[in-house]
Amino acid sequence: MIAADANLYDRFISKPNYKCFDTKVVGNMANPGSTNFNLGCFFSGHFFVECENKFYDPCLSTIYSSKEEPILYKASTINTGAVPMYAFGSGKTVIILRQLLGTVVPGFETTFEVLSPFKDDLKKKLTAQQYAGALQNRVLMAAGIK
Question: Domain extents for the chain?
Answer: 3-142
Handedness of CA 139, 88, 44, 127 (dihedral sign): positive
Phi, psi of 120 (to 5 degrees): -65, -35
pLDDT tens per residue across all 146 residues of the chain = 787 888 888 899 998 888 888 989 999 999 988 999 999 899 998 888 999 999 999 888 899 999 899 999 999 999 887 789 999 988 778 999 999 999 999 999 999 999 988 888 888 888 888 888 888 888 888 888 76
Question: Under a CB-based contact definition with an 8 Å cutoff, are residues 64 and 51 in contact?
Answer: no
